[in-house]
Structure 1
Amino acid sequence: MNEPRSTDSRATIGHNQGPTMDGGRQFRLYSWSRAQASHREAQLPLAIHRMRIARARELGLAYSDYARIRASSGRDVSGFLISSNALGVFSNAAPPQPRITERLQALRHVLRIGLAHPPLDPRLLLERVAGLDLAFAAPPLLGTFAEIRAALSRAQGQLPAASLVAVTALGLEQEWLAAGGLGATLPAEALFG
């Protein structure tokens, strides 16, 4: 004989308020996880929201981009790895557009690392682009993950990879995210307009 289910909704000790294991479990699990995620964000104190908005301004990012990066990487942004393509520098003699250097110089409390694609020389890129802190050779566009990871590791230095954001202009540069374990990638337009 089937016993009637209890309609008592109070949780017992040790219950985590998660979804039940009855039929329709997948939908309840999905709904519950979405509700928990939105609930956590909603419970952030107003002071933290204000600090994050101010941090997004320091980084020159839209708040939505900054929030997405923080949510996916779990870290604050400590550096931008900016490809020479994203900077609009394609030869050793060409300077970047003034709006790009102005934007780089306006960034605060973040490391700005240029990645020079061949035939560009990283030293010349650092000299020509005001606002860059460091410059390294960019990973090969058609390189293996190991080659890309090695090049990104040199540029990364002692910074955690998850705190770095690649600023790219080519589709092949999107592979840097997975190969280097970076926090995120952004198109050049997100940073330079």
Structure 2
Amino acid sequence: MAGIGHNRGPGPASGFRAHAWAVARRELLGARLPVEVVRMQVRRARELGLDYKTYAGVRATTGRDLVAFLYSSNALGVFRPQQRLGQAERARIAQSAAVPHLGCGPGLAPAALAMQIGARSVQDLPHFGTPWSAMRDRMKAWLRAEGLPGDAVLMIGETDHEREMMAAGGLAGFVSGQRFFAGVADAV
């Protein structure tokens, strides 16, 4: 027997009940947005430096607008202390309407890199092998300190470990740095 709050989905039942669920799901996923809403979303996607599909997907999933990007030093292609970020990458970040934040890998000069991208905040990212709960606590503490809702922050990263940080912190999504800086940002 299903407990309180269970919507008694179609389950193994067949017949009309399964048909009704299939129709409802199709209607929900096939909902068409008014043209003005789509235009507004296209404009906002452009302001953020994302393609429409990525922006609309994140927006539909989280129900929130993106306000900040968390760039990892890996996504920026910075692997040594005092390494300069490329001009094209700096320009792309500066053009985005999202507030930039920086997550640095170990052994880097976070303050110097944060200054290059105009980051509002900088943090050392959890090291590889950090337990999930510690990653979650660290990412959530950073979000609280910055006054950011996690589902309004998109992570621009490069590694699977950074993808785990995104999930642990409850961030809106993940876009690879290579795709973002190439101008093609498909979120995962």
TM-score (norm 2): 0.81
Shift of 1:121: 2.9
Provide closer, same or farther for how the CA distance between residues 86 and 36 of structure 1 changes in structure 2, counting only shifts above 3 A: same
State how far apart, in whole Å, the 2-side matches of 1:48 and 1:116 are: 36
Which consecutive aligned stretches of 4+ in structure 1 deviate over 4 angstroms post-superposition? none
- Structure exhibiting the larger radius of gyration computed from Cα positions: 1
TM-score (norm 1): 0.79
Q: Which runs of 5+ in 2 are unaligned?
A: 1-9, 183-188
Q: Which runs of 5+ in 1 are unaligned?
A: 1-18
Query: Counterpart of 1:140 in 2: which secondary structure?
Result: coil
Partner of 1:34: 26
Shift of 1:54: 0.6
Letter in 2 for 1:25: R
Shift of 1:47: 1.6
Counterpart check, 1:133 vs 2:120 = yes
Provide closer, same or farther for how the CA distance between residues 173 and 27 of structure 1 changes in structure 2, counting only shifts above 3 A: farther
Letter in 1 for 2:168: A
Query: How many pairs were matched up?
Result: 169
Provide closer, same or farther for how the CA distance between residues 131 and 184 of structure 1 changes in structure 2, counting only shifts above 3 A: same
State how far apart, in whole Å, the 2-side matches of 1:179 and 1:51 are: 31
What aligned pairs does 1:21-170 form with structure 2 within 5 A after superposition? Answer: 23=15, 25-39=17-31, 42=32, 44-108=33-97, 110-127=98-115, 129-156=116-143, 157-170=146-159
**Greater relative contact order: 1 or 2 (C-alpha under 8 angstroms, separation 6 or more)?**
2
Letter in 2 for 1:79: A
State how far apart, in whole Å, the 2-side matches of 1:168 and 1:73 are: 19
Q: CA offsets, 1:88-147, max 9 Å, x none?
A: 111112111211111001112x211010100113212213x2343322111222211222
State how far apart, in whole Å, the 2-side matches of 1:182 and 1:84 are: 17
